[in-house]
Amino acid sequence: MSSLWFAIVAVMFVIYAVLDGFDLGVGIVYLLAGRTDAERRTLLGSIGPVWDGNEVWLIAGGGTLFFAFPAAYASGFSGFYLPLMMVLWLLILRGTAVEFRNHIVSPVWTPFWDVVFAGASGLLALFFGAALGNVLRGVPIDVDGNFFLPLWTNFRPGPNPGILDWFTITIGITSVAVLAMHGALWATVRSAGNLQERARGLASWSWLATAILSVTLLLVVPLVLPHFGRRYAARPWGLVFPTLAVVSLVSIKISSRATRDSTAFLCSCAYIVFMLAAAAFGHYPYLLPAIGDSQVSLTIFDASTSSSGLSIALSWFIPGTILVLAYFIFAYRRLLSRTDTAAN
């Protein structure tokens, strides 16, 4: 039962990364791709009706983590106190920017929110990547299951780590590159003319950065994360995930070259899914590995709530998921495509 809920939480965060990933990515490339007000409106319009729904996956995933693994939620959220609060501030600023920008047409109002939107999107991608890096690397957990990390120490993922070290920063930068590519590909699908050309160019550049950083990560991870090495050695079939990630990455390039933009975007979705699946597979059954004393590591078995509670949750989670799928089909079919045709 704990393993099932580990999978559910992982899937929810993966969906979050894929969906909110493209609207964060649109934010990252926003100032570079959209030069005129009309182009920027097109970019915002391409995420307008769906970004809030995408972000709900973060809330829902967090809520699921909360009840399924309360000890991990409590330990992780209090331990990453400062960066999480900054994430909250960035989410507030970004949501405000998206929704308030078009209320007033003014040479001081619009550019201000443009910069806030782009800046907050880029920083969020960086923070989320660094957060993933921290969860994978582990933290110095005390005997009560708590920790508190400073923002940085000596920038080394050794015995006295900070939130930011070279490993977590690398994952953060990778996250920015990946989401920039993801968002640029989305923008390519959703636009035409000059805007589309610029988005295509940005997708191409960020693909290159993604490729270099991904290969680096695949080489570095076994060195920094010994539990990944053990896990993949014990279950070699798991290597299918990183392999498929590489295949997806190559497919993005092939599809882009052939200007099959929708296919390229879907390959980008697949790339994110398989990269994160590879991470989740390697990380299992850990939620938060402890640095130093591995006895106090939080695994899914000691952090989960009672199995009766987990069974109860399944009874509403399954119908809930079906409803959510129905809303998303409605939102992407009816709202997005219709507003799009109305715009053109």
Contact between residue 170 and residue 217 where contact means Cβ atoms under 8 Å apart: yes
Does position 50 interact with another protein (CB under 8 A)? The reply is yes
Contact between residue 277 and residue 14 where contact means Cβ atoms under 8 Å apart: yes
Binding mask 224-263 for another protein (x = CB under 8 A): ----------------------------------------
Q: Shortest Cβ distance from residue 87 to another protein (Å)?
A: 8
Q: Please list the alpha-helical segments (H only) found in 101-239.
A: 109-137, 166-189, 193-224, 226-234
- Rounded Cα distance, 111 and 42, in Å: 15
Does position 71 interact with another protein (CB under 8 A)? The reply is yes
Q: Shortest Cβ distance from residue 333 to another protein (Å)?
A: 11
Report the sign of the C-alpha dihedral through residues 161, 147, 84, 54, in that order.
positive
Does position 143 interact with another protein (CB under 8 A)? The reply is no
Q: Shortest Cβ distance from residue 173 to another protein (Å)?
A: 25
Write the CB contacts of 226 (distance below 8 Å, at least 6 apart in sequence).
none
Does position 11 interact with another protein (CB under 8 A)? The reply is no
Residue of 5, 27, 30, 75 interacting with another protein (CB under 8 A): 75
Q: 44 vs 224, which CB is nearer to another protein?
A: 44
> What is the CB-side half-sphere exposure of residue 339 using CA atoms within 13 A?
17
The C-alpha angle 120, 123, 126, rounded to 5 degrees, equals 150
Residue of 53, 111, 162, 201 interacting with another protein (CB under 8 A): 53
Window 78-107: residues binding another protein (CB under 8 A): 78-79, 81-82, 84-85, 88-89, 91-93, 95-96, 98-105
Residue of 24, 28, 60, 123 interacting with another protein (CB under 8 A): 60
Q: Which of 28, 17, 16 is nearest to 203 (CA)?
A: 28
Buried b (16+ CB within 10 A) or exposed e, 137-167: bbbbbeeebebebeeeeeeebeeebbbbbeb
List Cα–Cα distances, 28 to 121, 137, 173, 183, in angstroms.
6, 26, 12, 8
Does position 49 interact with another protein (CB under 8 A)? The reply is yes
Residue of 1, 66, 211, 266 interacting with another protein (CB under 8 A): 66
Q: Is 299 helix (H, G, I), strand (E, B) or coil?
A: strand
Of the listed pieces 67-75, 157-165, 175-183, 233-241, which binds another protein according to CB under 8 A? 67-75
Phi/psi for 153 (5° steps) reads: -125, -95
Does position 169 interact with another protein (CB under 8 A)? The reply is no
Residue of 25, 34, 122, 145 interacting with another protein (CB under 8 A): 145
Q: 45 vs 222, which CB is nearer to another protein?
A: 45
Binding mask 304-323 for another protein (x = CB under 8 A): -xx-xx--xx-xxx--xx-x
Does position 64 interact with another protein (CB under 8 A)? The reply is yes
Does position 205 interact with another protein (CB under 8 A)? The reply is no
Residue of 13, 73, 127, 232 interacting with another protein (CB under 8 A): 73
**Residue indicated by tokens 């970019």:** 43
